Structure 1
Amino acid sequence: MSDRIHAGIVGTGFMGTVHARAVRRAGAVVSRIVGSTPGSSAAAADRFDAEYATASVEELLEASDVDVVHVCTPNATHASIAAAALRAGKHVVCEKPLATGLAEADQLLAAAAGRVATVPFVYRFYPTVRAARARVADGTTGPVRLLHGHYLQDWMALPDDENWRVDPARGGGSRAFADIGVHWCDLAEFVSGDRIARLSARTVIAEPVRGGRPVRTEDAATVQFETVGGVAGSLVVSQVSPGRKNRLALSVDAARESLAFDQEQPETLWIGGRDGNRELRRGEEGSPYSLVPTGHPQGYQDCFDAFVADTYAAIGGQAPDGLPTFADGRRAAALTEAVLTSAATGTWIEVPR
C-alpha cells in the first residue's frame, strides 16, 4: 500500500456519495464500496470511482487495503458496523446518529480508544462559524446571555411523504431531533463553548399515518434549555415546514454584540450592536477553512471535505482543532435521550453527563 489513506464506504445512497467525494478531495483512495445488494455495490463502485465493489460488509472490514471505514447506512445499523470496524482495527467515520441509544454510544466511545473515530457535525467547518466561535472565545462578544434558533426542513411536509426514517426499527426512536436537532445543539455548544445542562421538550407528530403505517417518530420538536453556565435558550426543529429546505439558524446574544449564522446564507456572519449592525463576509475572517476568494461561495460539500481532510490529518498524527469525534456523537445521543424523556414525561430533564 502507498502512503495514501485507503477508505472503505458502507452505504451507497446520498451520504455515501458525499463521503466518496470528500475522500477523493482529501487525496485519499476509495478502495472499496459495499451496498445492500451486489448490484448496488457494483453500480456505486463505478459511480464513486472505487477500486473494488465488495460482496459484504465483513469482506470490506477484513480487507487489508482499507484503513478507515465510512459508515453511511440507515441509523439502526450504525453502532453494529462501527463496532465491527473498530474490532477489525480500522479508523471510523460514522454518520450520525452514532447510535440510537445512549448505552450503545457509551460502548462505542470506549471501543474507539486508540483509534480516530469521528462523526460528521460538518457545520462546524463553515468559516463564518469559526469566526463566531473565535469572537465568543476571545471575549469580543462579552458574556453570552441567550442562545436561540431553529433547524427547519420541508421534506416530510406532505401527507404522503415517507422515508425509512419514519420506521423506528430503522431510524431509531427519534427522527427530527436525532437527525437535525442534534446538529443545531452541536453548533450552539461549539460556538458558545457552553453545554446544555437541562431541558424541557415537546415533540409533534404532524401526520399520524404515512404510507398506510402509523408514525411513531416526531415530525417536529420544541426545546427550552439552560446551559451549564446558566444561559437560557430555545430551539425549534421541524421537518414539516413548507419552503424551508435546510434552514439551520443560530443566534448568540451576548453583552456587547449578537451573532447570527444562517446555514442557507453561510457566506456572512451577522454581527449586531446597539450602534449599528454589520455583516462579516467569508474570507474576511482569516480562517484556514476559507478556500476560495470572497464572492465565490463555499457550501455544504466544502464543509464535508474539510471534515474528512481533518479526520485523515488526525489519522496521520495531527490534532485538528474542533474535529467532532465519537465523544460528540455520544453527546448527541445523550441530548436525544433527554428530549425523548422530557417529551414523554412533561418534565425538565437533566442531560446525562
Structure 2
Amino acid sequence: MNGSLRAVVVGAGMIGAVHAGAIRAAGGDPAGVVASTPERSARASKEWGMPGHYPDFESVLADDSVSVVHVCTPNALHVVQAEAALRAGKHVICEKPLATSAADAERLTLLADEFGLLLAVPFVYRYHPLVREIRDRRLRGEFGAWQLVHGSYLQDWLLGEEATSWRVDPAEGGPSRAFADIGSHWCDLVEWVAGVRFTELTARVSTAFAARPTEDVATVLLRTGDGVPGTLTVSQVSAGRKNRLWFELDGAGGSAVFDQENPETVWLGAQDGARLLVRDPEYGAPEQRRLSRLPAGHSQGYADCFHSFVADAYAAIEGGVPEGLPTGADGVRAARLVEAVLRSAASLAWTDVDDTPVVVEASV
C-alpha cells in the first residue's frame, strides 16, 4: 500500500472507530470523518486522531482526492449513501447489511460493477486465521462429505427491557434485527468455510418484550442444495453471551468447531478422538499463515480480522485478487437469506432461498 488511497469514514459510532483504525493499519490515508452533525464529526475526528472532518456528506462526494468511502451509518442510510459514493466515482466499503432489501443490495452491486468500482462488505469473521485453516482442510477433503452443519450466534446486549438503540427501530435498522445483524454473519461464514449453499429454510422468530417491533431471537432449520441439514440459533438476549459465534461442521471423515470468542484454537474431531489445533504462523494452510499477524501464543482477535479485511479490500482496488474478500454479491446473498427467514416466520412454512446469480464482471 503506497498511501495513495484516501479514505473517509461516514458515521461516528463504534464501528466507525473500528474502520478508522483499520484504514491506518491497512496503509490507507485517512482523509477525515463525517457524522450526522458537524459537532459529532468534530468530536469523532479528535477522538480517532483523524486529520479533519467534513461539514456534510455532499462535501465528501465533491472531494476528488477521496478514493474510498467507508459507510458506517444506520442501516436505512446504506443504500442512498453507497449509491451516491459509487456515482461520484468512489470505491465503497459498506457495513452490513448492504441494504435492507435484496433488490436494493443487488442494484448497488450491479452499479459498482458498471462503474468498475469495488463494493466490499465486512463479513470479517472470514479473516480469523483458523477459519482459513478449516476451509483449507475442507478443500483438501479432510472432512469428507458433510452430514450436518449447526451452531449459534448469541449476544446479551438487549437483555433488559430498557436496552435499545436505533437497530430496534425498523425505520432505521430494517425489518429484521437479530438475524440480519448477526445471523447473517453466521450464514456467510458457514457457507464460505464449508462450501455449501442453503437453499431452503424454516424459521421462527420472537421478541423478549412485546414493545419491540423486531426480533430478539431466531431459530432456523436449514437445508443445503446437497440435502445437508443445518440448525442455527440467533439471540441478542442470552445473558452472559457477549459475542459468541459458534459453528460445528460434521463430515463423514471428521468434524471441526470454531468459537469466535476463543479464536486461537479450533476443535478437530475424528472417530478415534479429538484435538485442539492452535493458530501458528509456522504451520498450516498458507492463508492461515498469511493472516497470522502475531506469533503463536500472542492472541489475535476481531480488530486483526478487520485490519486484514480492509487491507484486502485496498489490495483489490489496486488490482490484487485476495482470497475470500466479501463483496457486494455476498451482501446480496445475506439480504436474500434475511428475506427468506422473514417470509418463513410469517408463513410458518419451509421457504426457498433465492439463489439467482448476480452476474458481475471482474471490475477492479
Q: In structure 1, what is the equivalent of residue 362 of structure 2?
A: none
| 1:307 aligned onto 2:309 | yes
In 2: Cα distance, 1:346 partner to 1:272 partner: 35
Q: In structure 2, what is the equivalent of residue 243 of structure 1?
A: 240
Flag as ranges the 4+ runs of structure 1 deviating above 4 A.
none
Assess if the C-alpha contact under 8 Å between 2:109 and 2:328 holds in 1.
yes
Deviation at 1:180, TM superposition (A): 0.1
Assess if the C-alpha contact under 8 Å between 1:194 and 1:228 holds in 2.
yes
Deviation at 1:194, TM superposition (A): 1.0
Q: In structure 1, what is the equivalent of residue 95 of structure 2?
A: 95
Moved more, 161-170 or 174-183: 161-170
Question: 2:158 corresponds to which letter in structure 1?
Answer: M
Report the number of matched residues.
Answer: 347
* Cα offsets for 1:147-201 (capped at 9, x unmatched): 1000000000111111111100000000000000000000110111111000000
Assess if the C-alpha contact under 8 Å between 1:116 and 1:314 holds in 2.
yes
Q: In structure 1, what is the equivalent of residue 19 of structure 2?
A: 19
Q: In structure 1, what is the equivalent of residue 223 of structure 2?
A: 226
Q: 1:180 aligns with which of 169, 182, 186?
A: 182
In 1: Cα distance, 2:319 partner to 2:261 partner: 34
Q: In structure 2, what is the equivalent of residue 212 of structure 1?
A: none
Moved more, 47-56 or 85-94: 47-56
Determine helix, strand or coil for the equivalent of 1:112.
Answer: helix
Deviation at 1:57, TM superposition (A): 0.6
Q: TM-score, normalised by structure 2?
A: 0.94
| 1:254 aligned onto 2:251 | yes
* Cα offsets for 1:16-74 (capped at 9, x unmatched): 00000000001111102101111111111122222221011111111112100000000
Assess if the C-alpha contact under 8 Å between 2:3 and 2:27 holds in 1.
no
Moved more, 336-345 or 42-51: 42-51
Assess if the C-alpha contact under 8 Å between 2:11 and 2:33 holds in 1.
yes
Assess if the C-alpha contact under 8 Å between 1:257 and 1:273 holds in 2.
yes
In 1: Cα distance, 2:59 partner to 2:225 partner: 45
In 2: Cα distance, 1:9 partner to 1:315 partner: 17
1:328-343 correspondence runs (5 A)? 328-343=330-345
Deviation at 1:328, TM superposition (A): 0.3
Deviation at 1:3, TM superposition (A): 4.9
Determine helix, strand or coil for the equivalent of 2:314.
Answer: helix
Q: TM-score, normalised by structure 1?
A: 0.97
Question: 2:26 corresponds to which letter in structure 1?
Answer: A
In 2: Cα distance, 1:51 partner to 1:292 partner: 29
Assess if the C-alpha contact under 8 Å between 1:204 and 1:220 holds in 2.
yes
In 2: Cα distance, 1:204 partner to 1:163 partner: 18
Question: 1:222 corresponds to which letter in structure 2?
Answer: T
Assess if the C-alpha contact under 8 Å between 1:29 and 1:50 holds in 2.
no
In 1: Cα distance, 2:83 partner to 2:143 partner: 41
Flag structure 2 segments of 5+ consecutive residues without an equivalent. Answer: 356-364
Determine helix, strand or coil for the equivalent of 1:52.
Answer: coil
Q: In structure 2, what is the equivalent of residue 285 of structure 1?
A: 284
Q: In structure 2, what is the equivalent of residue 6 of structure 1?
A: 6
In 2: Cα distance, 1:161 partner to 1:291 partner: 36
Moved more, 170-179 or 131-140: 131-140
| 1:37 aligned onto 2:37 | yes
Determine helix, strand or coil for the equivalent of 1:20.
Answer: helix
Determine helix, strand or coil for the equivalent of 1:249.
Answer: strand
Q: In structure 2, what is the equivalent of residue 64 of structure 1?
A: 64
